[in-house]
A = this chain, B = another copy of it.
Amino acid sequence: MLYDCIIIGTGAAGVSAAINLKIHEKSFLLIGDADLSAKFRRAELVRNYPGLPDITGAALADAYLLHLQKMGISITDKMVSSAAVTKDRCAVFAGADYYESRTLILATGAAAAGTLPGEEPLVGRGVSYCATCDGGLYRGRDIAVIISSARFEHEVRYLAGLASKVYVYPTYAGAEFSSDNIVMMKSRAAAILSGEDGKVCAVRGTDGEETPVSGVFCLRESVSLSTLLPKLKVEDGRIVVDREMRTNITFVFAAGDCTGRPYQYVKAAGEGNVAAHSVIEYLG
């Protein structure tokens, strides 16, 4: 199926865009965390979402989920690993799945810590973003996993069933695994190292220790923008957009924190609205 639009991200911008596409009866996929983003829920108190004074991030997320439910919009709970554009359509890869659309709205949130030194040049040479896709390549070998959310813990368990040893570098608190071959690292990952063959050979921790591995899985809420869509114009970590939320790629739009500051719910929601209207205008 060729969708009218694929929205990547379920923060305020993605949800706002989806609501408008639904009203205009466009076919679309809303891909992201079905519980809305962890960052969305993290806000203790939101004072400046007009009309909902003094609301917690969690309550606002629940209000958004109810809004989606009332409109019959479902979330495709996947992590997008990459996207590609051809002359007239977009392809989005999420895990082992593949979707096509006429337009794309990137609502991926503020870039996370960014990529690690060594990560980008080693994509496809030992660095992977998808356990399901690439796990089989590391059967019986040692790998590292950089994981940003409990949401991806099942992927670690899946990898542990294949690999010999799994060294886990969590970037969130409370990660715990019971398998014998999962080793929790005490330092954070600082860099991914390559050997003479130009492939991954080790991860260096922030403590300087190097752990030899054959592969590294980076399981994060969102992949870096340059990894997601290499042709996309990005400056200072934010997607360059105009007032209509158009990026440098004709049928690719962006909205929310990924377009830059201020990082605010209502700014993101407003931009999602504009992006959706630009998509509707583009579809004609």
- A50 and B267: CB pair below 8 A? no
A23 close to B (CB within 8 Å): yes
In the complex, how many angstroms separate the beta carbon of A73 from the nearest chain B beta carbon?
11
A195 close to B (CB within 8 Å): no
Please choose the segment from A61-69, A121-129, A181-189, A214-222 that sits at the chain B interface, where 4 or more of its residues have CB less than 8 A away: A61-69
Give per-residue flags for A14-48: 1 if the beta carbon is below 8 A from chain B beta carbons, else 0. Answer: 01100110010000000000000000000000011
**Number of copies of this protein chain within its complex:** 2
A78 close to B (CB within 8 Å): no
- A262 and B241: CB pair below 8 A? no
Please choose the segment from A148-156, A157-165, A223-231, A269-277 that sits at the chain B interface, where 4 or more of its residues have CB less than 8 A away: A269-277
Given pairs A49-B51, A267-B274, 17 additional interface contacts (CB within 8 A): A15-B50, A16-B48, A19-B47, A20-B48, A23-B48, A50-B63, A50-B269, A51-B51, A51-B60, A51-B67, A52-B63, A54-B70, A243-B243, A264-B270, A264-B273, A266-B273, A267-B270
A-B complex: 9 closest residue pairs judged by Cβ atoms: A270-B270, A51-B63, A262-B277, A53-B67, A267-B270, A53-B70, A16-B50, A19-B48, A267-B273
